[in-house]
Structure 1
């Protein structure tokens, strides 16, 4: 099967599975909802921390990315849980082409939803902030908004790679959610472990969403927003390569 045919097949699979559509809808609703809630109650006059109006738009990402994790895992692992992976590989014997096709379609969809979510969160939050808000024309603001959407797509792709390695929805979700929700935050939160924590994918990648690097109590990093995104891309590449190697060498 040619690569365009693989893409078409994977698109059909994803759009006809209700769970993936609902998961992406939850990404949008949770992210935008929490951003609106947090920004509507935030005291912009507080002198306790540096304020970043643009970054406040993405305060719901911490919650929305959990649904994106589930989406990334389910795209790959659902075929193993239903034993459809054998049928898929019989139709597309070239395993690398099969997995890359699946990842390409799902990542494109995640990017579209991520960008829709980041722009919606931004405009709603800035409207709620009123005079304290900023516009897309502000310094580095557009980079932050677009970067937030790219960040969400990279989260999904990273999780696809991990799911391809573990080949289990339960194992993948049980590993990834604590990794992003707890381990990353804990390692970045303590001085003794911050040097390690700041190089984890979510901590490094999220720098792209900051206009003011030290806003909201964030610590200075040895890399900038693009450097942080580059570190996250390296993590994603490692996960994707790992998934491809497992699929190519392992039994279906």
Structure 2
């Protein structure tokens, strides 16, 4: 049993073959799909996906940092309404993204901090998006750290030191296609990180692993990530799958 802790199965890139794509993943051994939110424009699609796959799909709720714009307070209110209306497995993906635009830096910080506080109140894990913002994210995590703060550092691409710092805040490292890239760098030190801190993800339809790099990613390709971790940790495919799935259960509680 393999768990994909981060996949955008509701993406319009899957509109023409979603059912067969999900079946390919199941045939490859993936039996749990954790679905991050982006903003309110995707909520209906997420709910439809869950309704069609009630035993396999687990939804998060949150406001993605690249969706923090002029109307971010309105979007945050919608997140809060949904969190009060029904259960979700996590608050995410949330965080900071300073790669494309720094215009809303202050608003991203506020949105991140606010959603962390909601997660702690509800005893939910968080799923962190970080791009060109390690220092800013760590500053907020340091201020908000507590026994109730836990989650996943999605698509971790930092250094060994940053990996250790993320783990110190009770975060697992989300490892996906980047670990298979020749210039991905994280494969050079992952063996220094205990596998108990690792979960698997695809971020599909993005960041397809080698040999599919540059193509549409899908959850079935997570087996290529497992193969890479087999080499890194000198464990069997089955052991990697079992350990990382248990790690995901420790985070999400499901």
Normalised to the residue count of structure 2, the TM-score between the two structures is 0.27
Does 1 or 2 have the higher relative contact order (CA < 8 Å, sep 6+)? Answer: 1
Query: Which one has the bigger strand percentage?
Result: 2
Structure number, greater radius of gyration: 1
The TM-score, its normalising length taken from structure 1, stands at 0.27
Whose helix proportion is higher, 1 or 2? 1
